[in-house]
Structure 1
């Protein structure tokens, strides 16, 4: 049976950006497993379950009643209760300041090679879910980068939605330090869709140990930490291309092994593309 691993932030995922590819995988009969940075249960962003919420850059609601319902139902179920613990699975890269740096590096690479050769072959694809939380604990998560590099090494597809695409830009060989999407065609959250204010995060991070977030369950960081479009334009380099498709209803790009989706409205398209890649050998789409 085809098995897909979903990487989800612990600081707030956008409902449809999980539901879209998850629905497609469920309908295709795939086995699904989840992984979060520390093994904590992921939390959906409240606004992604509110059809009345108008997305400021687009001036309209981007959440349907059906998607909001499905997100609430998933969150109320036990399906996300026991995700894999990424920190317990993939080791941390050693610091150069370590007095045993060379030996530590050798051991680190032995462990990574074992994960790639023994663990990852049981999976057929990786999906990186978007939402503002992905900026916090997925984009610059070196453990996730190693998983991405491993899937690419095994020639297995990696799909990413919205701010989840940032992890592809930052995933790179630690020696060459070149992005793995160099020379590729990708899409992602364009600057036209960036908030001026209201970038929020939610999750099990309250100081009192509760699961309500930051005491009241929400914190506003204003605009996004970085303009993802510019990050992606730089990462693909002169031989690649960022394709925002602003003004089009959907933007999904397949440039094997990568499947990238612009934002929440392209989440279901991402799921369809992933199934086409896995079941029908699709290697190029949208450019």
Structure 2
């Protein structure tokens, strides 16, 4: 029976290659992929990720080949991304503590969350969170996504996160303990050296944020704690780390390898790679 992969995309823009890399690896293995966005809105690629002449400021070179730009545009223009699942419709929202009938609402929330998680876990073998600048806006601090991540982790099912999508792993944590799921884990992600100083943009809004609103490396170093580690691998072309159940990818060039590593986890029981 073919594997089923749930792929979460931002509604504010994903990086083309960071979707193409894993998806092409999954397609080659006959996996079935289903897409999900925060509110069921169709995801779109960030324009620079479709431009082979775009120069990445920190790296000082183009990061998208002509062939990859063509493949990313073909996927973005296809019907595959139409009609994604809605995270907001499938995962309930935790009530405010100021709710008039908080106890009853909290009981209902936990009941509905357990049912939703069971349904999703029954339908998918792995979770993928695609990167780009968009996740900064609607994935990093999305509590519904946090609950989805927690459910997959508790079920011992692998979770792949790329680039700024890794932030959602750092912020996913048990409501009572408040410790990050990444505590004690080894991960990679966008290092400080590769962060923009200007030009962080999004799909659907005319807004140049300048630099990213937070240095992901610092968040990941704090989240992994003294018994884990962040691996930026600055100066190395590829940075992918597997510390089961997590597969983390630093940025664009790591996407193909990240997809291949998830396949190794699913088919060959890989538990550690890249550190």
TM over 0.5: yes
Distance (Å, rounded) in 2 between the aligned partners of 1:5 and 1:266: 19
| CA apart distance, 1:65 | 1.0
**Alpha-carbon separation, structure 2, partners of 1:286 and 1:75:** 30
Q: Show structure 1 runs of 4+ deviating over 6 A.
A: none
Which TM-score applies when normalising by structure 2? 0.98
CA shift at 1:105, angstroms?
1.0
* Gaps in structure 1 of 5+ consecutive residues: 203-212
- Cα distance, 1:117 vs structure 2: 2.1
Aligned counterpart, 1:110 = 111
Does 2:157 align with 1:156?
Answer: yes
Could you report, residue by residue, the CA deviation over 1:209-259 in whole angstroms, capped at 9, with x for unpaired residues?
xxxx23xxx421100010000000000011110011111110000000000
Give the corresponding residue for 1:97. 98
Q: What is the Cα deviation at residue 119 of structure 1?
A: 2.6
Match of 1:275 in 2: 263
Aligned counterparts of 2:119 and 2:210: Cα–Cα separation in 1: 42
Matched, 1:167 2:155: no
Segments of 5+ residues of structure 2 without an aligned counterpart are none
Q: Helix, strand or coil: the match of 1:229?
A: helix
Match of 1:225 among 210, 213, 235: 213
The Cα shift of 1:99 comes to: 1.6
Q: How many residues align?
A: 274
Shift of 1:176: 0.9
Q: Provide the secondary structure at the position in 2 that maps to 1:169.
A: helix
- The DSSP-based 3-state class of the residue aligned with 1:201 is coil
Structure 2 residue aligned with 1:207: none
SS in 1 for 2:166: helix
SS in 1 for 2:35: strand
Residues 1:11 and 2:12 are matched in the alignment = yes
RMSD value over aligned CA atoms? Answer: 0.8
| Correspondences of 1:17-36 after superposition (within 5 Å) | 17-36=18-37
SS at match of 1:135: helix
C-alpha distance in 1 between matches for 2:77 and 2:266: 29
1:249-281 per-residue CA deviation (whole Å, 9 max, x = no partner) reads 100000000000000111111011011011111
Q: Tell me the residue number matched to 1:210.
A: none
Measure the CA separation in 1 of the matches of 2:154 and 2:139. Answer: 20
Distance 2:183 2:252 in 1: 24
**Matches for 1:50-65 after TM superposition, within 5 Å:** 50-65=51-66
CA distance in 1, matches of 2:190, 2:29: 27
1:120 deviates by 1.4
Q: Which residue of 2 aligns with 1:44?
A: 45
* Mapped pair 1:285 → 2:273: yes
Which residue number corresponds to residue 240 of structure 1?
228
How far apart in 2 are the matches of 1:144 and 1:271? 20
Partner of 1:265: 253
Distance 1:135 1:119 in 2: 24
Q: Aligned-pair distance for 1:101?
A: 1.2
